[in-house]
Amino acid sequence: MLDLRFVRENPEIVKQNIRNKFQDQKLPLVDEVIALDEENRRVKKEADDLRANRNKVSKSIGMLMGQKKFDEAEAAKKLVNEQAEKLAECERREEELNEKIKKIMMTLPNIIDPSVPIGKNDSENVEVQRYGEPVVPDFEIPYHTDIMERFCGIDLDSARRVAGNGFYYLMGDIARLHSSVISYARDFMINRGFTYCIPPFMIRSDVVTGVMSFAEMDAMMYKIEGEDLYLIGTSEHSMIGKFIDQILPENELPYTLTSYSPCFRKEKGAHGIEERGVYRIHQFEKQEMIVVCKPEDSKAWFDKLWQNTVDLFRSMDIPVRTLECCSGDLADLKVKSVDVEAWSPRQKKYFEVGSCSNLGDAQARRLRIRVKGEDGKNYLPHTLNNTVVAPPRMLIAFLENNLCEDGTVKIPEVLRPYMGGQSVLVPKK
């Protein structure tokens, strides 16, 4: 969420940013919120003047009564009552205006970084760099669920009967591989200086609206009926929410946390052949990383975060590339974002396995997270997040890139301690 003062003082910058994100329908909101803010400040001043005058007149009533000026005291009481009615009307109007302003401010997109390429959607994202050599083997790579079924490692039919489409049972070696990847990712991040955390898997609505846009919320979140609780779509939500309404000591920055959680998503609009299996599902597990830091440090942390994911995948010999998200592909709270994509030998293309985002001070402003500087003044920190690994999609990349012609799957050396020392998985079918 933008600073209202910034919008008031820089309307053309805000409008150009909206154009750059191809959200022209939001352009009238800029002038509307500025007009509402102007009216709100006028009403607030009127209310402040009424309070000051009411207090002054109220104090005079006792004096007048003491001087036996009863008529004047009654007139003063009448004036206080009249002003109390006007004040109540002003306060009601203030509340109404504040709500309208907040609603608009929550929909205005954050100012994107100047380095972000301008484009309408993800088809105009820009490749930054490739890591590792993508290989297409001489033999055919089956669909990932077919590979898993050879190991008796997945049961989609039972999952449909139990929970419907978009769910799965992982079994045997495939389930163990899934857990091994999570455990390895956890230790990988701990070794890079991050503090391990297991957060709440449900969050309240004020945290939800603090960490994401309304559009994302509608497309992703499951609400717990009858309670002010939502299932998290990623642990970033509860990890950033951990700092809601807090004033953080500057000498404790940055906070670098890595968290494990299950994730729950509606996945509205998911379709197509690549949505089958475990590519796009309603429930999965993930290792995440988040940073809360000084504004001047966020660009450096952004590069460190996506590099962590690249290094993790490369340690398992999976080729990846980084992709700079264009303006139209950025969620409204994001300043800058880079996707990490893994190579799929079967599809002969890369696909997304992680996303790194710098949100500037947008989440901190919404969640009222402040830092007390050395000068005693408070300021808003920057927040960043990045996927370490999300095994369902990672498993696809892992199985395709480590599948051998005889149907076995190689286990990279870094994962063997988590797989009981196994160096290869042998299919059961």
Predicted confidence (pLDDT) per residue in 297-348, tens digit: 999 999 999 999 999 999 999 999 999 999 999 999 999 999 999 999 999 9
- Residue 354: strand pairing partners: 340
Q: What is the pTM of this model?
A: 0.89
pLDDT tens digits, 292-309: 999 999 999 999 999 999
324 has which bridge partners?
126, 338
pLDDT band at 269 (very low <50, low <70, confident <90, very high): low
Q: What is the pLDDT of residues 214-240, one digit of tens each?
A: 777 878 899 999 999 999 999 999 999
Name the β-bridge partners of 370.
247
DSSP letter (8 states) at residue 59: H
Tally of CB atoms within 10 A around 26: 18
Task: State the average pLDDT for the chain.
Answer: 92
- State pLDDT tens for residues 78-136: 776 677 788 888 889 999 999 999 999 999 999 999 999 999 999 999 999 999 999 99
> What pLDDT sits at residue 273?
39
Q: Which domains occur in the chain, in start order?
A: 4-105 (1.10.287.40), 122-425 (3.30.930.10)
**From 191-200, 260-269, 383-392, the region with the lowest mean pLDDT:** 260-269
**CA 285, 368, 213, 329 torsion-angle sign:** negative
Residues with Cβ within 8 Å of residue 80, at least 6 apart in sequence: 54, 57, 58, 61
Q: Which amino acid is at 77?
A: K
SS3 letters for 357-417? EECCCHHHHHHCCEEECCCCCEECCEEEEEEEECHHHHHHHHHHHHECCCCCEECCHHHHH
Burial of 222 (0-12, 13-18, 19+ CB in 10 A): middle
Return the CA Rg of the chain. 28
Rounded Cα distance between 213 and 216, Å, is 5
Q: Phi and psi for 176 in degrees, rounded to 5?
A: -65, -40
Query: Could you give the percent of the chain with pLDDT greater than 90?
Result: 82
Q: 98 vs 33, 223, 259, 376, CA distance in Å?
A: 10, 26, 36, 29
CA dist 288 and 376 (Å) reads: 32
CA-nearest of 384, 3, 369 to 206 is: 369
Q: What is the pLDDT of residue 54?
A: 66
**pLDDT given for residue 67 in this prediction:** 66
Q: How many CB atoms lie within 10 A of CB 91?
A: 15
